Amino acid sequence: MADPRDIELRNAALEHVRELQRRYDDLVPTWALAEGFQFRGRRVSFGSFYSGIFRPKELEGPAALCLVTAPPKSGRPPPYDDEFDEATDRFTYRFRAARTQTPAARLQAAADNRALVAAHELAVPLIYFRGIASGQYAVVAPAFVVAVDARAEVVELQAGLPIADTTPAGLLSGEDMRRYATREAIVRLHQHRFRTAVLRAYATRCAVCRLREATLLQAAHIIDDRHPGGVATVINGISLCAIHHLAYDRNLLGIDPGGVVHIARRLLDEIDGPMLRSGLQEFHGAPILQPRRGDERPDPDRLQLRFEQFTAA
């Protein structure tokens, strides 16, 4: 069982990252995480967002506090092979490898990996920072190491329950609840990646009205993700502001395979003030903004399928 003082520090860290999630709408900037958190009047660090496994010196016990998967860089493979296994509803997280073959680097990597294994042995809550884009991290917390494969040099992680699993007794929730919490976490991660990729492709603008305010922009699926063709890829997405996304979802706004906007007939015939006129009616027949890269432009076949839903409605 973990030292109660360590659990107190971990809970302070967990509460702080939850506040950051609320403040930054679940996608936290690196600079905010780099400020660390306060515990008993002292600043405690979340560590480097490049080292992967971190145990602050303020902890009494041997287990890590934070794990990091760095965001992928454009055109490059991710720096670590950390993935999600849909068969088991678990994340896989690799042991840290030494950056160089110097004795100091090997000793640090070994110490970090021992801290990762100790987190499993003590069943203590961790904070898992998952990089979504440069300077932006999603947070899975609490997370637990539920299995260690020393031969393959990987561990398996699951999300825990914020209340039940942050006590000195450690991991209390059952497998079914942890699987559910982990699936919820992976859905959030997919949504963040999809939104980030789509907004980048559209240069952070609404494809209909060209609004640039990122906090009001959303990634709309052309084909719903419950449909077999509704994969979370850029060619199945369009960057839309909140009002045009809602109109698109309600089949009040359609986009044909040529990328032309159509407004529902009943709205074109209405007279309802400047918002309807300038926000919807005036875009009827206008082309949408298209990504510069041809391989990121909306798939015409998916647009056609979705446009048929619009015309039927």
Q: Look up the domain containing 274 and give its range.
A: 204-312
Residues 6+ apart with CB under 8 A from 138: 26, 27, 28, 129, 130, 132, 188, 189, 192
Q: What is the spatial distance between Cα 110 and Cα 190, in angstroms, rounded to a whole number? A: 32
Whether residue 170 is found in the same domain as residue 214: no
State which of 136, 170, 196 marks the end of a domain. Answer: 196
pLDDT over threshold 80, residue 290: yes
CA distances from 262 to 58, 125, 159, 175 (A): 60, 51, 43, 48
Considering the domain architecture, whether residues 142 and 8 belong to the same structural domain is answered as yes
CA distance 67 to 144: 10
Same domain? 144 vs 170: yes
pTM of the model: 0.80
Same domain, 101 and 172: yes
Residue type, 28: V
Clarify whether residues 8 and 127 are in a common domain. Answer: yes
128-159 residue pLDDT tens: 999 998 889 999 999 999 999 999 999 999 99
DSSP H or E run through 136: strand 136-149
pLDDT of 237 > 90? The answer is: yes
Of 295, 85, 78, 111, give the one whose Cα is nearest residue 193: 78
155/209 same-domain check:
no
More reliable by pLDDT, 221 or 84: 221
Name the band, by pLDDT with cuts 50, 70 and 90, for residue 262: very high
Q: Which of 68-72, 97-101, 138-142, 225-229 has the lowest mean pLDDT?
A: 225-229
Domain endpoint, select from 175, 196, 217: 196
Same domain, 160 and 75: yes
Same domain, 32 and 165: yes
Residues 150 and 208 both lie in one domain? no
Which phi and psi angles does 217 have, rounded to 5°? Answer: -100, 145
Q: Which of 130, 164, 196 is the last residue of a domain?
A: 196
Tell me, yes or no, whether 148 and 182 share the same domain. Answer: yes
Q: Report which of 210, 211, 200 is spatially closest to residue 237, judged by C-alpha positions.
A: 200
Q: In angstroms, how far is CA 295 from the centroid of its own chain?
A: 23
Do 72 and 220 lie in one domain? The reply is no
SS3 label, residue 18: helix
What is the count of structural domains for the chain? 2
Task: Bin 170: left if φ > 0, else alpha if -120 < ψ < 50, else beta.
Answer: left
Residue 172 has pLDDT above 70, yes or no: no
- Cα gap 280→294, rounded to integer Å: 27
Sign of CA dihedral 72, 78, 81, 84: positive
Q: How many Cβ atoms are within 10 Å of 174's Cβ, its own excluded?
A: 11
Indicate if 99 and 245 belong to the same structural domain: no
Cis peptide bond prior to 142, omega within 30° of 0: yes
Q: How far is CA 261 from the centre of its chain?
A: 30
In tens, the pLDDT along 73-128 reads 664 444 444 577 777 788 999 998 877 778 777 888 888 999 999 999 998 999 99
Confidence band of 39 (pLDDT split at 50, 70, 90): very high
